[in-house]
Amino acid sequence: EEGASQRTQEAQEAAAVTNIMRDSNGQYVLPENMGGDFTIYDKAFQKAMLSKYAATLQTDITSSLQKFSQDNLYDPQGFETSASSYVRETIEQVDPRVRDQVLGYANNQKVQLAQAIGNRTAMLVRDNAIAANNCNETSNRNGIKRSSNGGAWR
C-alpha cells in the first residue's frame, strides 16, 4: 500500500514536469512514451498526463473562444460559425481518452460566450429602439409646437 502510494506520487511529480508539446500543425500532443498499462507508476503517469493535456487544451480553447467573442461582439451568428468550426476542428485532433471531457468543456464555454453576445446584442437593439422612440417624440413635440404657432418655431 505504501509502495503504491509512493509510486503514484512519483508518477504525478514526473508528469508535472513533463511538457505538453505542439505538433507541426500547432496541435497539442501527448508525449510519445507514456509507459504501458501494467505498473502502478505507468497508470498514474498516464492519468496525470491526460489531466494535464486536457487542462492545457481547455485553457487554449477558452482563449480562442474569447477571441472569437471579441471579434463578434454584436454578431451572434458570426460567433457561432467561427466558434463551432474551431471546436469541431480542434476536437478531431484531441486524444480519444479525453475527447468527450474537452468537448463538453468547449461547448459549455461556447454557450456562455454566445449568451453574453446575445445579451449584449439585445441590449443594443433595446437602446437603439429607445433612442429612436425618444427622437420620434422630440420630433412630434417640435411638430406640434410648429403647427400651433403657424409653422414657426417658438
Place of cell 403657424: 150
Query: Per-residue DSSP letters for 45-86?
Result: HHHHHHHHHHHHHHHHHHHHHHHHHHHTTT-HHHHHHHHHHH
Render pLDDT for 26-69 as a digit per residue (tens, 0 to 9): 999 999 888 888 899 999 999 999 999 999 999 999 999 999 99
119 phi, psi to nearest 5 deg? -65, -45
Give the bridge partners for 28, in sequence order. 22
pTM of the model: 0.76
Render pLDDT for 112-145 as a digit per residue (tens, 0 to 9): 999 999 888 888 778 777 887 777 666 666 555 5
